[in-house]
Amino acid sequence: MDKLKERWGIENNWAIFFIFCAFAVNGSFAAWVAKPVTSFIGLTPETLNPWLYWPLRILLIFPIYQLTLPIVGWLFGQFKFFWAFEKKFLGRLGLGFLFKENS
């Protein structure tokens, strides 16, 4: 646990607890939000082969997860951590230009 606290720059165990809770809640929330979104765009298990529906839904969950992670992190009092986490993660995906400030 100490290695994780050091790596993430976290000072106490409560912060780690809230970070883990935020990750868990956000995963469930993103999956929950993806269902009506897929229905809205016409993708349902009844209209699509399950071998196509589930990969598409999982691909849809990914951006929803990324968009809602800072919000859920804020609800758990960990916005600063999750904002830095998002910038680093999206930077690794080649989307770091979204966070560059104009000089």
Q: What digits encode the pLDDT tens for the residues 32-70?
A: 999 999 989 888 888 888 899 999 999 999 999 999 999
pTM score = 0.79
pLDDT-derived band at 101 (thresholds 50, 70, 90) equals low
**pLDDT tops 50 at residue 16:** yes
24-29 contact pairs (CB < 8 A, 24+)? 25/72, 25/76, 26/65, 26/68, 26/69, 26/72, 26/73, 27/65, 29/68, 29/72
State whether residue 9 is helix, strand or coil: coil
**What is the domain count for the chain?**
1
Which domain covers residue 71, as residue numbers?
2-99
Q: Which whole number is the average pLDDT over 68-77?
A: 95
